[in-house]
Structure 1
Amino acid sequence: MTPAPASFQLAEHITINSTDGGAVLLDKRNGEYWALNETATYMLNGLTAQLDDFAIATSTSELFEAPIEAIELDVKRLRSTLSENGFTKSP
């Protein structure tokens, strides 16, 4: 897998609150919220720590004992879904 773009930041209007087994993202512009499960929360933490997608997929795959191919797609989907919905800062 090719490393992801160097920078990932959540937009200022997004807040993260931890929950039992995951997290909730709140878009303060419109009150919309997204619940993330434990796996997605782990991946999001990797993104916000500026890890590349391959490093996130590798550690997630090992921790959750899941096939790395599936996790690689999940990391890519999470990154693009957050971006497409205005949850990230534009480069």
Structure 2
Amino acid sequence: MALRFATDVSTAQTDYGTVLLDERSGQYWELNPVATLIVETLRAGGDEAAATDAVVAEFDIDRERAQRDVTQLVAEMRASGLIA
């Protein structure tokens, strides 16, 4: 199942990644290129393993670190209410 942001979350692409705005709280999140790739992969219907694969393929990072980054980002977005 594809990742979906809550209805009150707006996104914008920048030269440096992605910016998320939680309109309920007014809080901004700035996602670096790694986090942007993770979110794009999940929004396209990929699971966390696919996001990990994408990070390993695109960046000079080992699989264990990539997996931790994916898990941590998803957990933080879920805890902050950004994910529907």
Give the TM-score taking structure 1 as reference length: 0.86
Which whole-Å CA distance do the structure 1 matches of 2:5 and 2:51 have between them?
Answer: 17
**Are 1:28 and 2:23 counterparts?**
yes
- Runs (4 or more) in structure 1 with deviation over 4 Å come to none
Is the 2:38–2:54 contact (alpha carbons within 8 Å) kept by the matching residues of 1? no
**Are 1:8 and 2:3 counterparts?**
yes
Give the TM-score taking structure 2 as reference length: 0.93
Return 5+ residue gaps in structure 2 as ranges. none
Q: Give the % identical residues.
A: 31
**Structure 1 residues 54 and 60: CA distance shift in structure 2, 3 A:** same
**Are 1:88 and 2:83 counterparts?**
yes
Which whole-Å CA distance do the structure 1 matches of 2:54 and 2:22 have between them?
Answer: 28
Which whole-Å CA distance do the structure 2 matches of 1:44 and 1:59 have between them?
Answer: 11
Aligned length: 84
* Cα RMSD, aligned residues only: 1.0
Paired residue type of 1:27: D
For 1:58, the equivalent position in structure 2 comes to 53
Secondary structure in 1 matching 2:31? strand
Deviation at 1:35, TM superposition (A): 0.6
Which whole-Å CA distance do the structure 2 matches of 1:9 and 1:77 have between them?
Answer: 17
